[in-house]
Amino acid sequence: MKYHVPVLLNESVNGLSIKPEGTYIDLTFGGGGHSKLILEKLNLNGKLFSFDTDDTAIKENSLANNNFHLIKSNFKFFDLHIKEKGISKVDGILADLGVSSHQIDNKKRGFSYMGDHKLDMRMSAQNEISAEQILNNYDEESLQNILYKYGDIKNSKIIAKEIVTYRNKKKIISNYDLLDAIRNISEKKLSYKFLSKLYQAIRIEVNDEINSLKEILKKSVEFLNSSGRLVVISYHSIEDRLVKNFINKSSFDSDFKKDLYGKKIEFFKRINKKPIVPSEEEKKNNSRSRSAKLRIGERL
């Protein structure tokens, strides 16, 4: 089985508008699909720096190419690593924010609500906090905020209360423990869609995904050359909204960022007005691509 099927592969790499001699960053190496295609478009003078924190991804998928540099690090620190290598500007940055198929399918990683396994959800083994620690140590209000903010769960208050009540009697260690903790919620609300949102919210908190996304978006402004491209694939509305606002309005909010004189600050030219989404054929062949949205900005 493949480690990970790259989503919107051609659309995202084409979105970089690659110069054969250019320097590019793949912030989310994973199975290496996007990186491999980028390398095919570079000449001997081109460079690609890819990042991942997953030991398995690095061990199993590294590419043999003199133009290629695979760095084990959280992508939010990409600036430090490329500076160390004497790089101050790049021509394109790509980020595929999805969890890899391998991580989801590996039950030991604890990303899926299917089966009985220990709750973990760390994308890197070096992460200090796991899903188990969050579910057993966060207070009720903090749990409620996470579920509502990162999962858009309307009855987050009830869910948080159920979790705290349950853990006071028994520690929540496994997948089945969590499902048992919320068993009193009606079957209709315990749908696959609900469980996906629940696990998404916990995973985002475990890996500090929203703050990391904000970091790379802000740093992209500094490190992209004029006309350099920022290409981001997101999988849920929270991420997509941040990417959309940052590309369109240079801000994480819906209002334009402005200077001291009230003039709009514009970092990017929007390349695609509406997000690019997978074709029906891709969604059929790779069900995990169905929620993907691709946005492209060109540095002004």
What the block records as the tokens of 154 is 């309307």
For 80, the domain range is 9-102+210-299
H or E element at residue 149: helix 140-151
Whether residue 96 is found in the same domain as residue 110: no
Read off the pLDDT of residues 243-291 as tens digits, 9 standing for 90 and up: 999 999 999 987 887 888 888 889 999 999 999 999 999 999 988 889 9
The pTM (predicted TM-score) of the whole model is 0.89
Distance CA 60, CA 79 (A): 25
| Residue ending a domain, choose from 207, 234, 261 | 207
pLDDT tens, residue by residue, 63-80 = 888 999 999 999 999 999
DSSP element (H, E) containing 195: helix 192-207
The answer on 90 and 228 residing in a single domain is: yes
1 within domain boundaries: no
Buried-exposed string 244-273: b where 16+ CB fall within 10 A, e elsewhere: bbbbbbbbbeeeeeeeeeeeeeebbeebee
Domain check: are 46 and 85 in the same one?
A: yes
What burial class does residue 88 get, using C-beta atoms within 10 Å of its C-beta: 0-12 exposed, 13-18 middle, 19+ buried? Answer: exposed
